[in-house]
Structure formats: C-alpha cells, structure tokens
Amino acid sequence: MVKFREKYIQISMVIITLVMTILRFLLNEKGRTNPDSIRYMRFAHGLPEIDNTTTPLGYPAAIEFFTFFGFDEFWSSKLVGIISFLFIIFFTWKKNFYFKESIVLVALFGFLSIFSYTMSEALTLPFVLLLLYSATLVITEKIVKWQGIFYLTLSLIAIYNIRYSAMFMVVGTGLFGLLYWKRKFAPSFIISGILGFIFIILYKFLFIDYFNESYVEQFLNIGLHTTPELLVELFQGLCTTFNPFIHIANPGGGIINYGIYGIGFLNILLIIFLFVKKKLSDVESFFIVIGVSGIVCSYFIQYFYSVNAIDYRLMAPFSFPIWLIYFRKLFEIFGIKIYVIGFLSLMTGLVFTWLSKGNYLENRKEMMNFLQSENLDKVPLKFYLESEEDLEKIQIVELISTINPQIRITFKPKDSLQKTTLTRYKVLQKIKIDKNKYQ
C-alpha cells in the first residue's frame, strides 16, 4: 500500500513539474531568455559556421538538431530543456539510481526554472548525472579500470563541450582520486582528471584559438572585484542556490530577502549537519567533492575572469550532486514525507510565476507581425543600445531573438540609421508588449 501510494506521488510530481516547466516560460514576457540566450540561438542558427567561442558547441548544436524537425531555435531550446528533465527521470528510474531523490530535486523551483530557460545548464545536468553514475560504477567496482577511465573521461569531455565551467569537475575528479589515493579506484579518477585536462588544453589551442586568438585575453582581468564584494555575493548566491523554495532574491533589497537568505542559510547548516552526523560512503564523498570543488573554483575564478555573480543557475551543475545526497539522507530519516518539499516548492513556483506573469505567446505574435510587416523576420538584424545596463531595451532584443535569432547588439549611434537596425522607439511605436510588473 505504501509503495503504491509512493508511486502515485511520484507520477503526480513528475506530471506537475512538466506542466510547471512549460508554464514557466509561457507565462514570461520573453519566454525565459536572457542576453546569453541570444548568443546561443544565433550560434545554433548559423551552424556549421562558428559564430563565437564564448560558449562551447554542445548546447547550440543540440538546439540546431531539433530545428531539423521543423522547430525554430526558440522552441528547440525549450525541447532541449524538457527532454533533459525527462531524461534525468527516466535514467534514474531505469537504473534505480537516486530515483526518489531526482524526482524531488527536479521539482524544486530553482531547477524547474533552469529546465525552462534557454541556457546551457539544462543540457549540462543530464551529463552531470552520467558522470555521477559512471563514478558510482567505478567506486563499487562494477566496471573494470580502463572501462571506468573511458566513461569518466567521456562524461567530463561531454560536459565541457556544453559548459566551460566543467573544468572545475575535471579538477574535482582528479582531486577525489588524490584524496583517496590508497583506494583501488583512485587511479581511474586521477587518470580521468589528467585526460580531461589534456582535452581542455587541446580544445583551447585547436578550437578557441583557431577562431579567436584573443578570447582568453579579452576575459582575463585581474582585480575585477574586491574580496568583501565576492564574499557577500558568495553568501547570497549559496543561500538562494540551496533555498528549496525561492531561488531569486529581490535585487532592490528589502525585508523579504532576509527570509529568502535565511531559509537558504538554515538549509545549508542542516546539509552540513547531516553530512557530518551520517557517515558518507565513498560514492557519496565523490558527489560532495565534485560539488564543493566546483563551488570553490567558481568563487576564486572571479578574481581574474569576467563571469556573472554566483547564483542558482551557475551553481546548478555543482549543487546537483549535493542535493541528491542531501535528499538521500532526508529520505532515510523521514521517508515519503520528503515529497512534501517538492510539492511546496512547486506551489511556491506557481505563485511566483503567476504574480510575475507576462504573456509570451501574445508578445511573440505582436513581434512576429511587426517583423514580417517590415520584412525583418529572416534577415540579419542589429539593435541599438546606449548601454548594456538598459534592461528594458535588452528585453526587447531577447523577445526579437526568439523569432529571428540573427540579431546582434550595437552601441554605434550611426548604425541606428540603417533599416535593419532596430531601436526601442522603432519597435514600441508600432506594437505594445505585455510586461512583467515585477522586474
């Protein structure tokens, strides 16, 4: 009876999570996109021509793959996110590998938001899961040494081809082997880490440098932020990352942020308490090493590399294994009651999504009519901005990119005189966009 009831709970949660994922981007005025999404969709549209090296090939290639079935780049990116979510559920069920934990994990509003986003983290997570599964097989000696090295290395290379931050997982894999160097499985992790590092070097010289020799120099900048600034951002980022209900703080500040950060901080303390109190197995230790090393590396790279502040999205590949172990421990203590966390997070997400709702389909229709009437729906475009900080104008670009991904931002005033260069005024004098009032 208990197993039947749990199965019913699991099926319900997966269905609700799927519906919420779709609603998350349909009830957003620009379909859950950001400036990086523009680059991904433009990159995908231009393949096999390489548009830039700011991002690896993996995610744009996945988007482009689904365009062969008649979808445009925007809808293809949403398919990638939904299929990534479903793959995690199917794989963990088929392999009986953290299945219960994964169901609750993907139902968390933060991860649901990732699967609905046109961003590469959605595609990264299934490959992180494959890395964790391969590591489990190696540690439990279910596959032989060289076979283990092959699967570990292949997983690391696959993740790196989707997100450059996978280099931190390469570090974590090698570090785990060194920390457990006396164990039989240690050489597999050390060798895989070394091979992964060699691939990163080759990728840099054979791909990145080939298309953009100055890429690294453009992004390297010592002294970008002070330590106090970074520590505050680290605290805030981790508190939202490990808040199971709300993953976004109010940028304007206010008393609500005390609650958001407070819940996340208390949850982090509980995670640490459980990991210390309940002895971790070697497999669980690998999960934690991968997660913690990724977070630590993400923090220190900010001292000399231009990246966004730590948040739930950037931390998703590294928080993913930590959440799995955390839920495993909670299930051991509280049983099926832990599914309540998933349902509460879904409810919170529904309220947040409804309060901040916009109408993407209506905005898409308006923008489509405008672009078609101006014969701008299938030609390369530019959008003039005075500064990158003008978020309202950038949102118009993001909406345009979901219809015509061949758009670039320009800061040159003379470009605004061209017919194929749009401005906020040119667009809004002819159409009205439904906006989210909670920016």
pLDDT in tens, 282-302: 999 999 999 999 999 999 988
Tens of pLDDT, residues 53-96: 778 999 999 999 999 999 999 999 999 999 999 999 999 999 99
What CA–CA distance (Å, rounded) separates 87 from 93? 10
> Residue 206 pLDDT more than 90?
no
Q: What is the largest CA-CA distance in the chain?
A: 71
Q: How far is CA 258 from the centre of its chain?
A: 25
**Cβ proximity of 427 and 396 under 8 Å:** yes
**Cβ proximity of 145 and 187 under 8 Å:** yes
What does 77-134 look like in DSSP terms, one character per residue? HHHHHHHHHHHHHHHHHHTTSSHHHHHHHHHSHHHHHHHTSSSTHHHHHHHHHHHHHH
**Cβ proximity of 356 and 438 under 8 Å:** yes
What is the pTM assigned to this prediction? Answer: 0.93
Return all residues near 379 (Cβ < 8 A) that are at least 6 apart: 404, 406, 420
pLDDT > 70: percent of the chain: 94
> Residue 428 pLDDT more than 90?
no
Tens of pLDDT, residues 395-407: 889 999 999 999 9
